[in-house]
Structure 1
């Protein structure tokens, strides 16, 4: 007697064929509009559609009418807190990008205002980031020496920021945000860790008080530059740097152990700047080799539309830098925004975020700002400070505006070594060795991608590391399609359940029937592989 489950098979109905144009339309809709963003406009009068459209493209119009005094108090505290972090970080990261420190302050004024109007995240705090700053310095520094031709270098940095914004906004408008998803978690962990390592090593210039330093970003060049100038090391600068670095790391450790003391970590960079400036002023440490920022010009952002170097012979380098830094900034900003949105159980639209990032960088490039995104450290402080809406960015921008108008002369005696300590302390948090260990335990291939990205950045360059990581990720994806995982299935006795025969030894083979579970679509790339492997 045969198996009762297979004596009367159910008929399979072949779905009707769709017209070619309808198939193309459905394919485009599933690829570019999986969330059906226009469903809210259906069956609405024209006036309501206009209001919904404005709220969709300018999210502040959606949450501002519901804004309460309680929200304002929470956003005020959060905004002031992140402003205390934004000022020293802005100055530090501008120096990392080989740009004048004042441009770092400018970059924490205009872009946050634009994002507050267009962004969909309640928690993201906008500002400059170390990795993008390093990319700008390493890529544009190969074309123009920032020390010899500072004006042209600044123009190229602003132009690169403009093209980064155009690229980001175009991805959002065309709903091509899925391209950023090709930067896998393993890629980002390795890339960020490698970039953080290089940034930390480069800050030895400030810690040791060196005047001349290599423009290379690889480990060999940096170490050669450090140890070939041992006779120029300044012990005063080194002692000061180690003390401030210990203080910053200690405050971060305390804040991680006791989350209620998050404000200690947030205020630590500003406290370091204040204490360092006072020490230099009182002891005249500037005369003993401790380098200081010097004069910072007062006033709000000057317009820089005329500074965009569209006719420069280095235009290709600016476009290339803009696209690469734009992708990296998008990957970091969108990932950070989604991560913190999960904690509060709300959704952010990745494509709207890309438009917001793009518009704030376009506006920023016209107002003397360089590339900005949503850094993890600043967003974490904003989240822990209890922000309720993107209004905290407006408060931060207002605080930075006050600094630009009245307080910039106070930073004259800020020692460079303190800025280096702030950068190193921030970068140590990006070397996520625990995530790398987790990748090794879960998936060895992802671990190889992570390590390859790290090695490429540390021993090659930031661009090489990114290319290596993305290439390996794409090859792995193609390999998983061309050689998919397959499982032979068998029937669990006395049931209609089929399971892998490797995992369930009691599963019975069906005579004359081969049942496979294939972890990929079957098409030309893997059809021959499946035929050769299972043909009897």
Structure 2
């Protein structure tokens, strides 16, 4: 049976009047009528908006129509993903996790000892932070590949911010207490963002800003290692992190004498580490070479210092370790007084930076192995492990890219590799710390320098320059702020430029004049398609942004400027004036009251010029608000069309066929 309902559809004739399909001449094209969205209740609209803003998925969907016992299992699996994937765990997977865990442990132990120096805490605290947090993450995290522990950037940031409040040498107890307090609030911040599904907030720190910040932090970290690399007495070294202060301190310390034995140690093993890194990069199958190179460096250098007593000749060594396993530190956290506020502020900053790094790492390796990582669940896991870590003598831990890459290359299957690493760290703290006592500080400096070189991503910076110059400004602003001032200054510059870019793009949206592509019913930007032809008597403008209070006035004025310029060009060439202004609204995702007022003002201004305002293809959200405001009644319901083509055929069918 043929579909006769089509003949009953109403069309718009050239005068905007309704006509049936059976009465329409054959040479008049079919004009689609714009659909008016149904009214939504206030509660339903609010619920839809909140759900779309805070989550792309309904977290309660899995629990619908499930018995109570099943709901309990699902709740536990949501909190502890290990209960879900653990059911299919087998000996084959464990073999891969065991090898990966042992490999990353050999990398993390020397790195943790070195990173603790960046945080200005005793060496054992770095190892503590690679014991408890990874265990908790293994049970609560959703990434199979991410390795948890201290990282260079967060260690430096935390050490710098806390040192501004207390001196780590003369006020050791207060300094350590503030470290634990900041770690506690870093965890609270991360868990809160995840629990309330506010993970989108960390996206305000753009990729370009992060690239610049990480590169600047890498150079700052490397400069800080010159103290250990050259054997400079800490009393003769600066507490500032900017490049000018550091280089001044380095050259001034030359008068007091650098330690040549230390320089030989540091240079030799740095060369060894860089060669190992080069081998691993050129031959991926030899990934284990750069992974175990730091541990080999520590073993060889420690043995050499022990048998030669080089520490008696001025070679600085790590010194004694506390053999205790993560002593409780809950009573050391500030829960009152002005130090509570200090710890809270520092914790928020450190927590967000740690979160940004971890989420990026988790997403990267998840895409490589084609599985999903729940960002909000990750935040809760990271937050929980740092809260518990602050109570067990740990400082802020997060995902490490270098260790995660080694974990991935070593064939890890699940987060059990983190558990294996934690056990190895535990055994190291309990039984091997007496041997670490003689490890030269210069070797730790070499390990850190070799590790942070990878944070300087020149290729990414070049690509940013090619793609977006404003992004490059954000990248370089963050980089220069860190290198020439301080880590926190660079971070503030990165955030400020990122927000400035957002405001610029929102307040100055792109607009374009459209023309008809020859022999097609398609209208495109005449700047992008030179062959596009303008329709005589019609100006077609596209707005490439939502219309809000921040940009509504600019959008209105920009359209009027387009119109004025076009009319001046037409008069100069003795062509007919503009009769219709068509606004293509497909890219307009939303509009507020200020935007609607701007359209109303645009309509009034156009009336004075004898130009009719036409809207084409507004989305459901925009159309719903336009009807709620009564705007269609102001311009006439027959002035809103499904496509630009429909609007052209209705406004000026003769001219449309001539183009």
What TM-score, normalized to structure 1? 0.97
Distance 1:6 1:450, change over 3 A: farther
Match of 2:48 among 18, 23, 26: 26
Give the distance between the partners of 1:271 and 1:387, measured in 2 at CA: 22
Q: Does residue 564 of structure 2 align to residue 534 of structure 1?
A: no
Deviations 1:348-390 (A, max 9, x none): 0110000000000011111111110001011111011000000
Q: Secondary structure at the match of 1:503?
A: coil
Aligned to 1:153: 175
Query: Which residue, 52, 66, 69 being the options, matches 1:47?
Result: 69
Per the alignment, residue 290 of structure 1 pairs with: 315
1:118-168 per-position Cα deviation (integer Å, ceiling 9, x unaligned): 000000000101111111111111111001011211111011100100111
C-alpha contact (below 8 Å) 2:195/2:376 kept by paired residues: yes
8 Å contact kept, 1:143–1:314: no
Aligned to 1:60: 82
Among 494, 499, 523, the alignment partner of 1:469 is: 494
Which range moved further: 412-421 or 519-528?
519-528
- Show the counterpart of 1:376: 401
Mapped partners of 1:197, 1:186: distance in 2? 17
Does 1:258 find its partner at 2:288? no
Q: Does 1:347 align with 2:369?
A: no
SS of alignment partner, residue 53 of structure 1: helix
Aligned to 2:439: 414
Q: SS state of the match for residue 98, structure 1?
A: coil
Counterpart position of 1:107: 129
Give, in whole Å, the separation in 1 of the partners of 2:125 and 2:176.
Answer: 9
Q: 2:112 — aligned with what? A: 90
Distance (Å, rounded) in 2 between the aligned partners of 1:445 and 1:107: 38
Q: How does 1:481-500 map to 2 (within 5 A)?
A: 481-500=506-525
CA distance, structure 1, for counterparts of residue 112 and residue 479 of structure 2: 26
Equivalent-residue separation in structure 2 for 1:79 and 1:52 (angstroms):
29
CA–CA separation in structure 1 for the residues paired with 2:195 and 2:401: 25
Q: What is aligned with 1:509?
A: 534
Pair 1:216 & 2:225 matched: no
Q: Is the 8 A contact 2:541 2:559 kept in 1?
A: no
CA distance in 1, matches of 2:87, 2:276: 39
Quote how far apart the aligned CAs of 1:523 are: 2.8
Aligned residue for 1:136, secondary structure, equals helix
Contact persistence 1:329–1:373 (CA under 8 A): yes
Distance 1:6 1:264 in 2: 75
Bigger radius of gyration among the two: 2
Answer yes or no: is the 8 Å Cα contact 2:134–2:422 preserved in 1: yes
Q: For residues 383 and 94 of structure 1, what CA distance do their matches in structure 2 show? A: 25
Shift of 1:9: 2.9
Q: Does 1:279 align with 2:301?
A: no
Cα shift at 1:8: 4.9
- Taking the aligned partners of 1:344 and 1:6, their CA distance within structure 2 comes to 55
Cα offset, 1:283, TM superposition: 1.5
Distance in 2, Cα, partners of 1:315 & 1:448: 36
Secondary structure, aligned partner of 2:318? coil
Query: Equivalent residues in 2 for 1:286-435 (5 A)?
Result: 286-435=311-460
Question: Is it true that 1:184 corresponds to 2:222 in the alignment?
Answer: no
Match 2:473 to one of 429, 448, 452: 448
Question: 1:474-502, CA deviations, whole angstroms, 9 ceiling, x for partnerless residues?
Answer: 11111111111222222212222222212
> Could you tell me how far apart the structure 2 residues matched to 1:35 and 1:257 are?
41
Compute the displacement of 1:33 (Å).
Answer: 2.2
Is 1:227 aligned to 2:268, yes or no? Answer: no
Shift in alpha-carbon separation, 1:501–1:435, aligned structure 2, 3 A: same
Q: Please, which of 38, 53, 57 is the counterpart of residue 16 of structure 1? A: 38
Deviation for aligned residue 1:415: 0.3
For 2:336 and 2:551, the matched residues in 1 are separated by 49
**Worse overlay, 158-167 or 316-325:** 316-325
- The root-mean-square deviation of aligned C-alpha atoms, in Å, is 1.6
1:81 maps to 2:121: no
Task: Tell me the equivalent position of 1:245.
Answer: 270
Distance in 2 separating the partners of 1:402 and 1:6: 84
Give the Cα–Cα distance (whole angstroms) in 2 for the partners of residues 270 and 465 of structure 1: 33
Report the secondary structure of 1:473's partner residue. helix
Judged with a 3 Å threshold, the aligned counterparts in structure 2 of structure 1 residues 520 and 148 are, in CA distance, closer, same or farther, namely same
Q: 1:526 to 1:236 in 2, by over 3 A?
A: same
Verify the 8 A CA contact 1:139 1:317 in the aligned structure 2. no
Which of residues 124, 129, 135 in structure 1 aligns to 2:146? 124
